[in-house]
Amino acid sequence: MHVTSIVKARAVALVDVDELNFNGTIRFADIVSPLVEKYGFLIYPVKPEDFDPEKGISFHSGKAGGKVIDVLTIFPGLITLETLSSTADSKTVLENLFRWGRETLGLTYSEGMVRRWGYISQIVFYSEIPLLSMLSKPLQNLAKKTGEVVDGLFKEGLVYEVGRVNIGHDPLTRKNSIAGISIEHRANVKFSDNKFFSEAPLPTDLHIKFLQELEKDVMEQSY
């Protein structure tokens, strides 16, 4: 397995935004200029409608040291930050932003205030094997039979393969469902290239580790 790119590495700080403004001295508009100056965001809130926290107050295309901040978004109950390197980088940048905000903007942030973190990791990778097709013999059989029938109808030599798998929890067990882990063929790339896209609610390093272990498991069961 060879990872070719990190498409998204999002860290989610589950924190009540009002707790960061305990003294009630900061308006959302007050943070724009300092954030733009500090992180060089190219897209940021300007119009009144941009300051709706329910929809998310977003800043795009900034930098923190050598790391690109793709998106920073503020919601009432959480703040998300995305880099293009890893969720660990995203979390570090967001924690540093909180500390900077405490010193510069007067945020009432304290260490350990964020008690829960969430993650979304999206990566693109090459596999040594046709990973999805080899996951399950029953799915291979279903794809083969379906392809034969469809080809009989359209006469185009179509071959069906497993195109996507998704693993997640029952959405009815939680008010706001949490993303699952999915693997699919990379868009606009031939299936035979064994290039895949995967998303997971995991730190980037664990996401990659689990995919490597999956590839290994599939290869071992095929021999």
Cβ–Cβ < 8 Å for 214, 200: no
Of residues 160, 158, 162, the one with CA closest to residue 132: 162
Residues 6+ positions from 150 with CB-CB distance below 8 Å? 158, 160
Q: How far is residue 205 from each of residues 86, 126, 200, measured CA to CA in Å?
A: 8, 16, 11
pLDDT given at position 221: 85
Question: What are the extents of the domains in the chain?
Answer: 10-118, 123-221
Residues 6+ positions from 181 with CB-CB distance below 8 Å? 166, 167, 168, 198, 199, 200, 201, 202, 207, 210
Scored b (16 or more CB within 10 A) or e, 44-73 reads: bbeeeebeeeeebbbbeebebeebebbbbb
pLDDT given at position 47: 94
Those residues of the chain that have pLDDT short of 70 are: 223
pLDDT given at position 192: 94
pLDDT given at position 223: 57
pLDDT digits (tens, 9 = 90+) for 173-217: 988 889 999 999 999 999 999 999 999 999 999 999 999 999 999
pLDDT given at position 175: 87
Question: SS3 of 158, please?
Answer: coil
Which segments of 105-191 does DSSP mark as H helices, in order? Answer: 137-154
pLDDT given at position 22: 87
β partners of residue 83: 9, 69
pLDDT given at position 20: 93
pLDDT given at position 23: 85
Region of residue 56 (phi > 0: left; psi between -120 and 50: alpha; otherwise: beta): left
